[in-house]
Amino acid sequence: MVIHDFPVQQITSGSILVNIPAECGRPVETLQQLFSPNYAPTSQNAILLQNCTSPLTPCKIPTTTVQTHFEMLDCGSKDNNISCYSEPNNQSLFIDYHNLTGVQCRSLLSAISVVSLGNLNNSAVSVDVQVVQLGWWLEGDCQHRYCSEDSSCITIVSPIDGRPGYRCQCLEGFIGDGYRAGLGCRKGQNIIEQFYDLTQ
Helix (H, G, I), strand (E, B) or coil at 21: coil
Count how many Cα atoms sit within 13 Å of the Cα of residue 132 in the half-sphere of its side chain: 30
Taking only the tens place, the pLDDT of each residue in 159-197 is 999 999 999 999 999 999 999 999 999 998 544 444 555
Which pLDDT score is estimated for 62? 60
Phi and psi based region of residue 192 (left: phi greater than 0; alpha: psi -120 to 50; beta: remaining) = beta
The four Cα atoms 34, 37, 43, 47 give a dihedral, to 10 degrees, of 20
Residues 95 and 77 occupy one common structural domain: yes
The identity of residue 116, as a single letter, is S
Taking only the tens place, the pLDDT of each residue in 116-135 is 665 555 566 678 889 999 99
Q: Which residues contact 72 (CB under 8 A, 6 or more apart)?
A: none
Residues 151 and 55 occupy one common structural domain: no
How many other CB atoms are there within 10 angstroms of residue 145's CB atom?
A: 7
Residues 93 and 150 occupy one common structural domain: no
Number of folded domains that form the chain = 2
Q: Supply angle C-alpha 61, 62, 68, rounded to 5.
A: 105
Residues 148 and 124 occupy one common structural domain: no
Judge whether 132 and 143 are in contact, CB under 8 Å.
no
- Share of residues in the chain with pLDDT > 90 (%): 54
Residues 75 and 167 occupy one common structural domain: no
Q: 97-107 as b/e, with b when 16 or more CB fall inside 10 Å? A: beebbebebeb
The percent helix, strand, coil of the chain (3-state, each to 5) is: 10, 40, 50
Positions of the chain with pLDDT lower than 70, given as ranges: 57-58, 60-73, 76-80, 115-125, 189-200
Judge whether 168 and 146 are in contact, CB under 8 Å.
yes
Which pLDDT score is estimated for 69? 64
Q: Is the pTM of this model over 0.85?
A: no
Range of the domain at 151: 138-197
